Amino acid sequence: MNYRILYFASLRDAAGCDSETCTATSTDARELYAQLRQQHGFSFDPERLRVAVNGEFTSWDRTLVDGDEVAFLPPISGG
C-alpha cells in the first residue's frame, strides 16, 4: 500500500517534513504508526494521538486503503 502521511507540530519537527509518501504492507493504522515511529523516532505512544484519514477524524480500528491520506495528530493546543 502507498499512503500519504501528514505531520503536524512536534511530529513534523521529528519527521523533518510536513508530508511524505509511505509504502507499507499493513492496512492497520497502529502498525503504520509503529513503522513510522521506528523510522522517525517519534516519542508519542499511540494512545496520545488521534488519527485522521482523508481529512476526517477516525478510529485506530479503521482499515486503511491504498492512497489514503493519513495524519497522526498529537495533543492539540489551540486557543
Partner 1 sequence: MFQLSDSRVDVEALTRELAHAGAGACVTFDGRVRDHNDGRSVHGLAYQAYPALAQAEGEKILDEAKRQFDIIQARCVHRVGALEIGDLAVWVGVSAAHRDAAFAACRYIIDEVKARVPIWKNESYTEGDSGWLHP
Residues of the shown chain interacting with partner 1 in the complex, contacts defined by CB under 8 A: 6, 8-10, 12-13, 44, 48, 52, 55-57, 71, 73-79
- State which residue, 44 or 60, has the beta carbon closest to partner 1: 44
Judge whether 42 and 68 are in contact, CB under 8 Å. no
CB proximity list for 72: less than 8 A, separation 6 or greater: 5, 7, 11, 33, 36, 44, 46, 49, 50, 51
- State which residue, 10 or 39, has the beta carbon closest to partner 1: 10
CB of 57 to partner 1, least distance (A): 7
Q: Three-state DSSP class for 29?
A: helix
CB of 25 to partner 1, least distance (A): 27
- State which residue, 56 or 66, has the beta carbon closest to partner 1: 56
CB of 48 to partner 1, least distance (A): 8
